[in-house]
Amino acid sequence: MVWSRGRSERFGDSRDDPATSTRRQLLGRSVVAGAALAGGGIVLGPRARWAGAAPSRAQDVKIFNFALLLEYLQAAFYGEAVRQGALRGEPREFAEVVASHERAHVTYLRKALGGRARARPAFSFGDATRSERRFLETAVLLENLGVAAYNGQAANLTTKALAAAAAIVSVEGRHAAWVSDLAGKEPAPRAADPGASAADVVRSIRRTGFVGVS
């Protein structure tokens, strides 16, 4: 159900402005049947109408900057986990491989955004990088969040940006499955990966407490 929510919410901005709420009320009903998750089954509603603002270059910039925040966070997390040296065996290998992927995503997005790329915030991961258990738990959360964030914005992107985002989310999905298997969780828990609204993703990031107060 999540992907049908918050279509019209703004990217990287968790505030609920009146225009957004109004649009959501007006359009919410038409998309609410978009996807329903019931048991193992999924329903991708026939002919639900997409209600987000029409794709544009300006909107791509907002979405890519939103994605960049997530990629900064992931790259920093795995980088620190590798440096901490608390990981051994396959979890360490996972951290090294995925750190390099997330750095490549950061590089790609920064290049695409040029001068409009947001600055890297300060992060502090506490004990999340200091034990295997906490590391795996956090990695599962961050990778699933990445998948939900990209899926939630896919239909808001222009064609070219969508092709790039698809190449990235594909790898996030692989990371999510890999680390879930490592952590003893379901690698593919559902038949469809619902998208999350930008506001929901930002809320989830805030809840981690990893992003320094700015």
Partner 1 sequence: MSNVVREDVTLEQTWGELAQTLEAVDIDGALQETAAGAVRATRAGLFRRAFATLAGVAGLATLAEDAAAARGQTKNDIAILRFDLVLEYLQAGLYTEAERLGELTPKTLGWARVVGAHERAHVQAIKNLLGRDTVPSPTFNYGKVTSDEKAFIKTAVGFEDLTAALLKWQAPRLDSRSIVAAVVTLHSVETRHAAWIRHIVGLRPAARAFDQPASQQRMAELIAATHFISSRPRVTGRRRPKYTG
Task: Check binding of 166 to partner 1 (CB under 8 A).
Answer: yes
CA distance 105 to 213: 24
Q: Indicate which single residue of 18, 41, 114, 212 sits in contact with partner 1 (rule: CB under 8 A).
A: 41
Dihedral sign computed on CA atoms, order 181, 184, 189, 194: negative
User: Per-residue x/- marks for partner 1, 114-143, CB under 8 A?
Assistant: ------------------------------
With CB under 8 A as the contact rule, which of the stretches 56-64, 119-127, 130-138, 169-177 interacts with partner 1? 169-177
Tell which one of 186, 203, 206, 209 touches partner 1 (CB under 8 A): 186
Binding region for partner 1 (CB under 8 A) out of 59-67, 80-88, 114-122, 160-168 = 160-168
Would you tell me which residues interact with partner 1 (CB under 8 A)? 3, 31, 34-35, 40-50, 52, 55, 89-90, 93, 97-98, 100-101, 104-105, 108, 147, 150-151, 154-156, 159-160, 162-163, 166-178, 181, 186-188, 190-195
